[in-house]
Amino acid sequence: MELHWLTIHQLKQMLREKKVSSLELTQALIHRIGRIDDQIHAYVTVTEEDALQQAKRADEMIAKGEHPSELLGIPLAIKDILCTRGARTTCGSKILADYIPSYDATVIQKLKAEEAVFLGKTNMDEFAMGSSTENSYFGPTQNPWALDRVPGGSSGGSAAAVAAGECIGALGSDTGGSIRQPASFCGIVGLKPTYGRVSRYGLVAFASSLDQVGPLTRDVEDCAILMNAVCGYDPHDSTSVKFKVPDLRKALVRDLTGMKIGIPKEYFIEGIAPDVEKAIESSIELLQKWGARCREISLPHTDYALAAYYIICTAEASSNLARYDGVRYGHRAAGYRGIVDMYRKTRTEGFGPEVKRRIMLGTYALSAGYYEAYYRKAAQVRTLVKQDFDHAFKETDVILTPTSPTPAFRIGEKTEDPLQMYLMDVFTIPVNMAGIPGISVPCGFSRQGLPVGLQFLGRHFDEETIIRAAYTFEQNTDFHLRKPPID
């Protein structure tokens, strides 16, 4: 198989056995990006020179017999929401189009310490606000499985890059499904860690109580490898948690015997695509065949999670995005009269329509006279949503749901109707509201050949169990091995 289709764990072996050098591998990927990214547009910035330097250094270490990590010399892509020192970080926005961070996000520092290779920064919905990567100032990303369809979002560039063979693995961020939904649309694996598991330092803030960084990879083993690299307490993030980080490779166990899997009846709603429902049903049958005990459970407040989420995330966003005022960094409008006019012109020019819409919603929800009715109510409903999961996990080890109600939709199909777009996140949002971990794995294809994903959800800080469930499912199926028709 060509180099660009291999996994982290395969390439790690090949690099150590000197069957390939990191430089050859990196060059192959840069060549591939040059050849196909016109069609996909997964990248906003390709950092070719730095990548080649990093690859050469990795090769020198390998030549000296130094193998400090699993990621040594492995070319990765990074969602353009994570600060990278000296490399432009746009967040998909005009307001940060020329922003060059003077520091690395903690997760980037960690990957640099592992001597990974950084190919570049991937496209995304502006400030991670969207479910299709259509809200990028730099134009949409195309789904490698069908170029007229979206890759999902907001980490659509990272998902498309992994699926199209334009990197070996990638990092994304997930506030309401932004890793898992694009992973399902692109036929790859994506994991949102427990809130607090991974440092948010250097992750450009959207909704701080919901945001988490996580991996997008070709299989579950690669997911565990990347998770091992990025997890852990960070004094720079007061919400990161001082829990011991387990070696998630030890969770790569192909055994489900006795595992209790709950299937929430509220997730099989009207509007779920028949192809998705079918794929999930046959997945449940397979899991039972392999020894899992599946049974129906109830998460009664599911139907309210979405509405509460869009109040909480927009409220937090309106506050977080107040920092974009044209003073210390980012775009500043020309031709203003006075400071307030500078703020207004800068923000009006710098933000796209969806970001403005969410700032407006959040500002409204927090404004005098409406705070009680909206934000306070939503924060109470959030308690109910979390309690649903707490109750469910007393009797079940993992919860299984579809990742998204439909496979990838067409570019432009939902851009005029924000509410329809928001409904795309209905299965992923409750997970962020409750702060629990979730992983999406490929579980089938629609009749049109589009990937379908299923989601395993676990208890707080129990990434091990969902990885074990996902690994067993994957190792007994071959959906993750199919490649999109792009060349």
Partner 1 sequence: MKGMKISREAVQYVAGLARLDLSEEETERFTLQLNTVLSYMNKLNELDTSSVECMSHVIDVFNAFRRDMTEESYSQDVTLLNAPEKENGFFKVPKIIED
Task: List active site positions.
Answer: 79, 154, 178
Q: Is 204 in the site for partner 1 (CB under 8 A)?
A: no
Binding-site member from 9, 79, 192, 301 for partner 1 (CB under 8 A): 301
Distance of alpha carbon 152 from its chain centroid, rounded? 10
Applying CB under 8 A, what is the total number of residues that bind partner 1?
Answer: 66
For partner 1, the binding residues in 331-350 under the rule CB under 8 A are 331-332, 336, 338-340, 342-345, 347-348
121 binding partner 1? (CB under 8 A): no
From 118, 351, 393, 471, residue interacting with partner 1 (rule: CB under 8 A): 351
Site map 137..176 versus partner 1, x via CB under 8 A: ----------------------------------------
Q: Which stretch binds partner 1 (CB under 8 A): 35-43, 164-172, 223-231, 415-423?
A: 415-423
Q: Which is nearer to partner 1, 209 or 477 (CB)?
A: 209
> Residue 321 CA to chain centroid, in angstroms?
21
Q: Which of residues 91-110 bind partner 1 (CB under 8 A)?
A: 98-100, 102-103
- x/- binding map, residues 213-252, to partner 1, per CB under 8 A? ----------------------x--xx-x-----------
Write down the least CB distance from residue 108 to partner 1, Å: 17
Per CB under 8 A, the segment of 18-26, 306-314, 407-415, 466-474 that binds partner 1 is 306-314
Q: Which is nearer to partner 1, 74 or 378 (CB)?
A: 378
CB nearer to partner 1: pick between 30 and 385: 385
- The least distance separating partner 1 from the CB of residue 282, rounded to whole angstroms, comes to 33
Q: Which is nearer to partner 1, 112 or 377 (CB)?
A: 377
Q: Report the DSSP pairing between strands 189-192 and 212-217.
A: antiparallel
**Residue 459, CA distances (Å) to 252, 394, 398, 411, 478 in order:** 18, 10, 8, 35, 27
The window from 129-137, 254-262, 405-413, 427-435 that contacts partner 1 (CB under 8 A) reads: 427-435
Of 37 and 211, the one with the shorter C-beta distance to partner 1 is 211
Residue list 373-392, contact with partner 1 (CB under 8 A): 374, 376-384, 386
Question: How near is the Cβ of 245 to partner 1 at its closest, in Å?
Answer: 15
Structure tokens at 218: 């070709």
How many Å apart are CA 176 and CA 212, to the nearest integer?
10
Nearest distance from C-beta of residue 356 to partner 1, angstroms: 6
For residue 413, CA distances in Å to 129, 342, 408 come to: 17, 35, 11
Binding site for partner 1 (CB under 8 A): 98-100, 102-103, 195-196, 209, 235, 238-239, 241, 301, 303-304, 307-308, 310-311, 318, 325-332, 336, 338-340, 342-345, 347-348, 351, 353, 356-357, 359-361, 363-364, 367, 374, 376-384, 386, 418-419, 422, 433-435, 460
